[in-house]
Amino acid sequence: MILILAPDTNAKDPIFRTLTNQLDLLPNIQYRVHEVQGSLQRLTEIYLIGDTAKLLTEEMENMPLVERVVRISDEYRVLGRHKDDKRASEFQYNGVTFSQDNLNIFAGLCAVDSPPHVELMMQALQKNGQVCTRMGAYKPRTSPYSFQGHGKSCLPWVFDLAGKYGIKVIAMEITHDSHIDEISEALEKTGQPTGVMLQIGTRNTQNFELLKTVGRQKVFPILLKRGFGITLEESLNAAEYLASEGNSHVIFALRGMKTNMGDPHRNFVDFSHVPSIKRLTRMPVCIDPSHSVGTRAASPDGIMDLCHVTAQGVIAGANMVLVDFHPVPSQALVDGPQALLLEELPYFLEDIAIAREAYEKRVKLIGDYQKS
């Protein structure tokens, strides 16, 4: 059960103490206070755990400061979409809005390699009106002999360049909790020229200790990749680990599933699950066509599979696209064969805009149909 308190409730207020005193008296009930800072107000939610079935909704609604009571199913307590649960799915970070109703594109390098390549990428993004990107500094690799990413040494110049080209959010994978401190220190040293979204890769979806540490910090939003060999329920529970530790600014990314049935793609594309995740949870949903498809192969209509699946995800309501680009794919240190070219960026953005417009028309169509 969730108690939603009056907006801008202050935990130091004596009435808040009256409320917690009453909660302390409830038998077999533990509670946890969550504060969510929205763009206009601070929302306080109290999660009651334990013998909540015996609690009467009306009685709880009469407690001081309580504005609304939401009964929740056991699953996905914080991030789930519950019956009569009208809490917003939206959050802002460094001037960019993330929600289940809009779309952000994160085109960039799979792995940071050289300053000229990063600069060319960011120049192209700025030229095309983009304020988000992806830049991998810490790369989890299948082989210990493969390039592992430049790590913390590249952070200062990557952040400086981001500031120079107006980049507001960089999706950057971390594979160890020490990377959060390294990123925070580099941002501090360079004067906070940009923002970072911490990415948890598919190999770490169930790294519970990492999830707990990342969930405990509230500075950076989090992009969680679906685990490539576990059930959707297990991956959504991984997202809930982040939120249960306090950070509910979580975006859930589909990146394809590991199975030979995915042939001819690197992974079996799972973008048909975009609407399912929006139904089950309030998280914005990201699609990663690059790691799903893994090649630049095109069909006889001339359109690359990578662009086809992007359009399929966007027409189903995806809220973010994470995609690999590279100025010279043959020189990329990681995943060159799946990278789009900088000169393809305007085409790619236009193709997405077509799919997004079609999605918006579909939403309007069902709305009109239901009213008629």
The residues binding ligand PEP (CB under 6 A) are 110, 136, 173, 201-202, 225, 255, 288, 291
Give the nearer residue to Mn ion in terms of CB position, either 280 or 286.
286
Which residue matches tokens 């995740």?
Answer: 277
Q: Long-range pairs for 47-50 at CB < 8 Å and ≥24 separation?
A: 47/1, 47/2, 47/77, 47/78, 48/1, 48/2, 48/3, 48/23
Q: Can you spell out the DSSP letters for 312-335?
A: HHHHTT--EEEEEB-SSGGG-SS-
Give the nearer residue to ligand PEP in terms of CB position, either 202 or 207.
202
φ, ψ at 350 (rounded to 5°)? -65, -40
Give the nearer residue to ligand PEP in terms of CB position, either 111 or 122.
111
Enumerate residues 6+ apart whose C-beta is below 8 A from 138: 148, 149, 151, 172, 173, 174, 175, 176, 179
- For residues 102 and 328, give the distance between their C-alpha atoms in angstroms, rounded to a whole number: 31
Query: Which of positions 271-300 make contact with Mn ion (CB under 5 A)?
Result: none
Give me the 308-347 binding string for Mn ion, x by CB under 5 A, dash otherwise: ---------------------------x------------
Residue 185: CB minimum distance to ligand PEP, A: 23
For residue 304, count other CB atoms closer than 10 A to its CB.
Answer: 20
- For residues 252 and 132, give the distance between their C-alpha atoms in angstroms, rounded to a whole number: 17
Give the nearer residue to Mn ion in terms of CB position, either 110 or 254.
110
Instruction: Find the residue with minimal CB distance to ligand PEP.
Output: 201
Give me the 112-151 binding string for Mn ion, x by CB under 5 A, dash otherwise: ----------------------------------------
Residue 136: CB minimum distance to ligand PEP, A: 5
Residue 46: CB minimum distance to ligand PEP, A: 34
Residue 134: CB minimum distance to Mn ion, A: 9
Enumerate residues 6+ apart whose C-beta is below 8 A from 53: none
Give the nearer residue to ligand PEP in terms of CB position, either 87 or 255.
255
- For residues 345 and 232, give the distance between their C-alpha atoms in angstroms, rounded to a whole number: 31
The option from ligand PEP, Mn ion, none interacting with 255 (CB < 5 to 8 A, set by class) reads ligand PEP
- For residues 334 and 290, give the distance between their C-alpha atoms in angstroms, rounded to a whole number: 12
Give the residues across from 92 on adjacent strands.
97
User: What 3-state class would DSSP assign to 310?
Assistant: helix
Residue 203: CB minimum distance to ligand PEP, A: 6
The option from ligand PEP, Mn ion, none interacting with 4 (CB < 5 to 8 A, set by class) reads none
Using CB under 5 A, which of the segments 94-102, 106-114, 117-125, 297-305 binds Mn ion?
A: 106-114
Q: Which of 3, 5, 110, 323 binds Mn ion (CB under 5 A)?
A: 110
Give the nearer residue to Mn ion in terms of CB position, either 270 or 335.
335
The option from Mn ion, ligand PEP, none interacting with 270 (CB < 5 to 8 A, set by class) reads none
Structure tokens at 107: 């085109």
Distance (Å) of CA 240 to CA 199, 208, 243, 267:
15, 11, 5, 25
Give the nearer residue to ligand PEP in terms of CB position, either 80 or 201.
201
Closest listed residue to residue 10, CA positions, set 38, 48, 41, 31: 41
Residue 272: CB minimum distance to ligand PEP, A: 18
Residues in contact with Mn ion by the rule CB under 5 A: 110, 335
